[in-house]
């Protein structure tokens, strides 16, 4: 029977043991959009046999894993001090979750003991199980639009099976996001209260499949956090991006989205270097596109996410 593209469920749960199925259920649903799924990635190994005739010899598929990319909305949990539903994805992106009751939930970078998750990707009653998943996240905020993370997830290939029915997931645990605007969003860059057309960040995890004798796993093998801010151009007396870039100066970045407790998400980068500004325009008004390098100060502190 034919299957529908837009009948989709993604269930994700943290694993107690790496690569051991955590059996996520409907309550573990990730509500996403702009989904791209590659069910089988890896290597195609040619046999290159010497035979007395020509022809295609086929290949061996090796080092198999799956890749899933999607976006999900930037919002809180609805209650200060309660983790958002996307918190498990952040934990599998190499971030530790610290909960302060009735106050906030903070996500900070870790390099040891990074957690993993099991993803059930269900496309109209065909279920793909991905195990030992590791993640990269990249938030993006553009005015008059819904703010979203872009997630890239790699997982070891588990079973692929038909199931009797789609899981009964709902959006109940995902609160409505606020659009990016002057009223809902505040950004500061190098001490300037920014007037910005957009800001995007990327935790910058390198996700590496490791298919070895005696072990197979996905690992975060490197990290380089970056971003881009498109800001309205001001006179140089207000903010001189050229001088800042040429002098290799570093300064803080803060983006706070949300106005009510339980639905405030803040991105904090204490040491951001500005790359080569590019001049452009929107509505005949000059803007600058600023490459951002998020640099650690004392290590593991180049980016923090605070949900409060």
Q: Write the pLDDT tens digit of every residue in 226-263.
A: 999 999 999 999 999 999 999 999 999 999 999 999 99
pLDDT digits (tens, 9 = 90+) for 154-177: 999 999 999 999 999 988 889 999
Please determine, for residue 31, whether its predicted confidence score (pLDDT) is greater than 90.
yes
pLDDT digits (tens, 9 = 90+) for 41-99: 999 999 999 999 999 999 999 999 999 999 999 999 999 999 999 999 999 999 999 99
What's the mean per-residue pLDDT of the chain?
97
Question: Which pLDDT does position 281 carry in this prediction?
Answer: 98
Classify residue 132 as left (phi > 0), alpha (psi -120 to 50) or beta: left
Domain residue limits, the chain:
8-41+59-164+177-307
Are 159 and 195 contacting, i.e. CB atoms less than 8 angstroms apart? no
Please determine, for residue 10, whether its predicted confidence score (pLDDT) is greater than 90.
yes
CA distances to 60, 61, 154, 207, 297 from 45, in Å: 5, 6, 21, 22, 44
């Amino acid at each position: 029977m034919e299957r529908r593209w837009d009948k989709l469920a993604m269930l994700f749960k943290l694993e107690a043991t790496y690569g051991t199925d955590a059996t996520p259920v409907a309550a573990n649903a990730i509500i996403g959009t702009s989904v791209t799924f590659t069910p089988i990635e890896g290597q195609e190994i040619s046999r290159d046999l010497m035979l007395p005739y020509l022809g295609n010899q086929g290949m061996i598929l090796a080092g198999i894993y799956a890749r899933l990319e999607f976006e999900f909305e930037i919002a809180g949990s609805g209650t200060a001090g309660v983790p958002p539903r996307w918190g498990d994805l952040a934990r599998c992106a190499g971030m530790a979750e610290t909960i302060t009751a009735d106050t906030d939930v903070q996500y900070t970078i870790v390099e040891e003991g990074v957690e993993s998750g099991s993803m059930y990707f269900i496309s109209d009653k065909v279920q793909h199980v991905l195990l030992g998943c590791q993640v990269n996240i990249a938030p993006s905020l553009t005015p008059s639009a819904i703010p979203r993370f872009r997630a890239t997830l790699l997982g070891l290939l588990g079973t692929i099976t038909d199931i009797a029915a789609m899981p009964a997931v709902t959006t109940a645990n995902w609160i409505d996001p606020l659009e990016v605007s002057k009223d809902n969003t505040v950004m500061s860059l190098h001490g300037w209260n920014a007037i910005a057309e957009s800001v995007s960040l990327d935790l910058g995890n390198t996700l590496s499949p490791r298919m070895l004798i005696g072990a197979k796993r996905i690992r975060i093998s490197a990290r380089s956090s970056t971003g881009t801010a498109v800001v309205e151009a001001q006179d140089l007396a207000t903010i001189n991006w050229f001088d800042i870039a040429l002098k290799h100066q570093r300064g803080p970045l803060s983006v706070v989205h949300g106005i009510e407790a339980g639905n405030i998400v803040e991105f904090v980068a204490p040491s951001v270097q500005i790359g080569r500004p590019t001049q452009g325009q929107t509505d005949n008004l000059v803007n600058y596109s600023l490459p951002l390098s998020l640099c650690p100060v004392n290590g593991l502190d180049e980016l923090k996410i605070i949900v409060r």
